[in-house]
């Protein structure tokens, strides 16, 4: 339903692509057969025409700052907030809002419990190791550096609006506690270190973690750099 490659293709979406071919600017017109109405019985959507322009990702904030967008959410992130706020201060005719997200976590690292390497698989399946890695992340530093202290640091869990939300689940193993992380790794049998103080796996290899990311969001890469430094600093004390 979300593909608009063929402008004559019937759709259940509120607007229909009225532009054929691959172009920089696309026009979407109101779907006269859209199946939803508001509480007064008025058929949605209210807006008859929507124009969308395709630009490079790095230009989205600049074009919004220049007043070239009536509504822009996608393509913008916390990193763009200073530019957008500056545009408001300089008299640009727009307002910047911080919208809540429907994702339980903006950034999360998922250890591969089924990795092909049998030694790493056993290590990562030890809950003490995973808890230690979590405790070695300074979430407050990430919040301050990347999210202007507007984020809510915590463990990966459901949103507060969910009936399944439990505060203790958000707080579980989410505090920055290098000392406890150190103890947990020792208990997991990873107490042996090389000459540089880096822990060794049970088979003697360095405990070197590789974290993969799609590279689609700059804040994720920046956060991973902070986490890398955190883990390296903690490792030197281990």
CATH number of this structure's domain 118-237, picked from the four choices 2.40.70.10, 3.20.20.60, 2.60.120.20, 3.10.105.10: 3.10.105.10
Q: Which of 57-61, 141-145, 162-166 has the lowest mean pLDDT?
A: 57-61
User: For all residues of the chain together, what is the average pLDDT?
Assistant: 89
Model pTM? 0.73
Give the whole-number percent of the chain exceeding pLDDT 70.
96
- pLDDT tens for residues 24-44? 888 999 999 999 999 999 999
Tracing tokens 């030197």 back to the chain, one arrives at 236
- pLDDT tens for residues 113-125? 999 999 999 999 9
Domain limits, the chain: 15-89, 118-237
State the Cα–Cα distance between residues 147 and 105, nearest whole angstrom: 13
Give me the pLDDT at residue 235, please. 66
């Amino acid at each position: 339903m979300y593909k608009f490659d063929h402008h004559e293709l019937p759709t259940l979406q509120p607007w229909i692509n009225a532009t054929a071919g691959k172009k920089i600017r696309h026009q979407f017109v109101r779907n006269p057969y859209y199946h939803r109405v508001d509480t007064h019985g008025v058929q949605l959507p209210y807006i008859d025409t929507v124009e969308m322009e395709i630009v490079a990702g790095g230009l989205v904030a600049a074009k919004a700052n220049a007043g070239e967008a009536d509504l822009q959410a996608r393509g913008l992130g916390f990193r763009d907030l200073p530019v957008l706020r500056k545009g408001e201060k300089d008299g640009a005719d727009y307002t910047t809002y911080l919208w809540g997200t429907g994702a339980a976590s903006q950034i999360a690292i998922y250890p591969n419990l089924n990795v092909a390497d049998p030694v790493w698989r056993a290590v990562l399946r030890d809950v003490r190791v995973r808890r230690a890695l979590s405790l070695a992340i300074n979430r407050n530093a990430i919040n301050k550096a990347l999210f202007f202290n507007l984020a809510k640091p915590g463990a990966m869990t459901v949103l507060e609006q969910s009936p399944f939300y439990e505060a203790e689940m958000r707080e579980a193993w989410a505090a920055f506690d290098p000392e406890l992380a150190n103890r947990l790794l020792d208990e997991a049998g990873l107490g042996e270190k090389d000459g540089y103080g880096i822990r060794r796996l049970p088979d003697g290899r360095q405990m070197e973690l590789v974290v993969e990311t799609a590279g689609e969001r700059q804040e994720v890469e920046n956060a991973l750099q902070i986490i890398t430094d955190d883990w390296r600093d903690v490792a030197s004390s281990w």
